Structure 1
Amino acid sequence: MVFDFNRDDINNYRACAPYPPARPEKPNRYYAKLISGAFAGKVSEMTAIAQYTVHGFFTDGYPEISVGYRYIAMVENIHLEMLSMLIADLGLKPILASYEANQFWNGSFPVYAYDIREILRADLRGERAAIAHYKKLITQIDDRHIKELLARIIQDEEKHIEILTSYYEGI
């Protein structure tokens, strides 16, 4: 499948609200450690990007889903970049690792499903887990700017659940 990377369709794969600045109120290395798990832990933006990219190839028999996965991966990459800026501003280097779990990201984190239904179920589970993780972070962090950014990212993840659910119901 040929994919046109110059399309503006990415807006169909994220919430309509603008992103707040990825700037904390002040440096806080503890918050950076917590956020690093969402950046590059097992349930993270890095894992989501890898999983959607791979699943985009495995869904080639479903062109709408395959294209959608590429756009969802792009949105997840926006999240990855915002979290990396946030981690740096909080005082740590945004390496592909969870400081909290003391574990580098690795290619065993994505779910490698091949059946279309299992792919969609795995990705729905991943989005729900990401939302739960972000909600937990919001309760652990006392920084209005960070909370606003995480809440906005949750809106995108909820949009992804809507999209994935419609794909699942359509097969």
Structure 2
Amino acid sequence: MFEQNTRSTYTPSLSLPYPKPRVVRPNQFYAILLLEDYAGAISELTAITQFIYHSFILNEYEDLHKLEKAVAIEEMHHLQLLGQTISLLGVDPKFRTLTDNIASYWKASYAYYGCGICDRISADIAAERSAISQYRYHLRLIEDPYIRQLLDRIILDEEEHLNLFQQMAAKYCHTIQS
């Protein structure tokens, strides 16, 4: 969970360390998979954009505003780790995906801007669920133990984010099924 400290900000309570970005060897296929997590429609970059926007718009709900901002910052850390790993795999970590060697660059329309508090919280829950599902799918395809450790650690954060957004849904939106 995120706990409020004396400076009135939220910090992650998951104190588990992140594995250092490492790879067994360069691997373009693995890099292409990680580019999806890095800057695809379901990605860390999309999550950062969506959550930071929601933090701006939902600033009248202090706890939710702070949570959205804190989660966005944590997603930035995931983005950095993935970018470093993609680079180690031998691919330039530009904000794009690659399909058949054709680049599709990240678009701001990937973020869900929404309307109203409950719509936005629901979208945040859906975003975390989609991210967890995509990371798990990529785990089935990646055999590199270093990358697997990193993705396992990121999934722990995403599961915690999901839990926190579900708590906000329970607090503010009694009709959202979490």
Common fold, TM-score beyond 0.5?
yes
1:34 corresponds to which residue? 33
SS at match of 1:99: strand
Structure 1 segments unaligned to the other structure (5+ residues)? none
1:25 corresponds to which residue? 24
Structure 2: distance between partners of 1:69 and 1:131? 18
Identity %, equivalent residues = 32
1:11 corresponds to which residue? 12
Structure 2: distance between partners of 1:133 and 1:64? 28
1:98 corresponds to which residue? 97
Scaled by the length of structure 1, the TM-score of the pair is: 0.92
Shift of 1:16: 2.7
Shift of 1:58: 1.3
The number of aligned residues is 165
SS at match of 2:157: helix
Shift of 1:102: 3.3
**Given that residues 10 and 75 in structure 1 are in contact (C-alpha distance below 8 angstroms), is that contact kept between their aligned partners in structure 2?**
no
Structure 2: distance between partners of 1:75 and 1:99? 25
SS at match of 2:56: helix
Residue correspondence of structure 1 range 102-113 to structure 2 within 5 A: 102-113=103-114
**Given that residues 10 and 66 in structure 2 are in contact (C-alpha distance below 8 angstroms), is that contact kept between their aligned partners in structure 1?**
no
Shift of 1:61: 1.7
More displaced, 74-83 or 24-33? 24-33
SS at match of 2:12: helix
Structure 2 segments unaligned to the other structure (5+ residues)? 173-178
Shift of 1:169: 0.6
* CA-atom RMSD in angstroms: 1.6
Relative contact order, higher structure (CA 8 A, sep 6+):
1
Q: Which residue identity does 1:136 align to in structure 2? A: Y
Q: Which residue identity does 1:164 align to in structure 2? A: F
Structure 2: distance between partners of 1:161 and 1:21? 24
Q: Which residue identity does 1:19 align to in structure 2? A: Y
1:161 corresponds to which residue? 162
**Given that residues 10 and 67 in structure 2 are in contact (C-alpha distance below 8 angstroms), is that contact kept between their aligned partners in structure 1?**
no
Q: Which residue identity does 2:67 align to in structure 1? A: G
Q: Structure 1 7/147 Cα, relative in aligned 2: closer, same or farther at 3 Å? A: farther
